[in-house]
Amino acid sequence: MPHKYLLKGNLMGLEKEGLRVSKHGDISQTPHPKSLGCALTHPHITTDFSESLIELVTPPLHRADEMLAFLSRTQQYLYHRLPKDQNFWSASMPCVIRGETYIPIAQYGSSNQGMMKTIYRRGLANRYGSVMQTIAGIHFNYSFAQDFIKIYHSLKATNETFKEFNNQSYMALTRNVVRYGWLLTYLFGASNTVCKSFLKGYHQHSLIKFNDSTLYEPYATSLRMGDIGYQNLREDEAGVKANYNSLEHYIHSLNAGMQTPCNAYSKIGLKKQGQYQQLSTNILQIENEYYAAVRPKPVISNNKPLESLRENGIAYIELRSLDINPSLPLGIDKTQVLFLEAFLLFCLLENSPVISSREQVECDTNDHLVAHKGLKPNLMLTRQGKSMLLQDLGAELIHKIYCCAELLGADYQIAVDTIGKRIKCSECTPSATSLNQMRQHKQGFFDYINHWAKQHQKTFLTKEIDLPHFEYLDQQAEKSCQQQLEIEQADKLSFEQYLSNYFLEKL
pLDDT of residue 201: 66
61-101: per-residue pLDDT in tens?
Answer: 999 999 999 999 999 999 999 999 999 999 999 988 887 88
Overall size of the chain counted in residues: 507
Domains along the chain? 2-504 (3.30.590.20)
pLDDT of residue 97: 85
Give the number of other CB atoms < 10 A from CB of residue 159.
6
Contacts for 199 with CB less than 8 Å, ≥ 6 apart: 205, 207, 215, 228
Please state, in angstroms and rounded to a whole number, the distance separating the CA atoms of residues 111 and 484. 8
Contacts for 105 with CB less than 8 Å, ≥ 6 apart: 49, 50, 51, 118, 121, 122, 125, 130
Phi, psi for 246 (deg, rounded to 5): -165, 165
301-347: per-residue pLDDT in tens?
Answer: 777 889 999 999 999 999 999 999 999 999 999 999 999 999 999 99
CA contacts within 13 A on the Cβ side of 448: 30
pLDDT of residue 161: 92
Contacts for 36 with CB less than 8 Å, ≥ 6 apart: 42, 45, 54, 78, 81, 477
How far is C-alpha 495 from the geometric centre of its chain's CA atoms?
A: 29
Among candidate residues 63, 16, 64, 55, the one with its CA nearest the CA of residue 333: 64
CA contacts within 13 A on the Cβ side of 366: 29
